[in-house]
Amino acid sequence: MASDKQVVRAINSGSISSEDLVSRDGWSYICKVRGRNFSKVDEEAWQRVPAAVTS
């Protein structure tokens, strides 16, 4: 499992794996990491995350 730092970096760079976005466990972990690191996650990058699922 990726560290919080790795997940935050992936969110901010738009490089979250599509498998993690559609996996219930993966999405849950991403959301928990975001909650623990709220101030480190770029809001605009976070808003683009759902779009990555549909593209």
Reported as a single tens digit per residue, the pLDDT across 4-51 is 999 999 999 999 998 998 999 999 999 999 999 999 999 999 999 877
Please name the helix (run of DSSP H) or strand (run of DSSP E) that holds residue 38, with its range, or none.
none
DSSP letter at 40? G
Cα 23 to Cα 5: distance, rounded to the nearest angstrom = 20
Instruction: State residue 9's pLDDT score.
Output: 98
From its phi and psi, is residue 27 left (phi > 0), alpha (psi between -120 and 50) or beta?
alpha
Instruction: State residue 1's pLDDT score.
Output: 76
Residues 6+ apart with CB under 8 A from 18: 52, 53
Instruction: State residue 50's pLDDT score.
Output: 79
Instruction: State residue 54's pLDDT score.
Output: 62
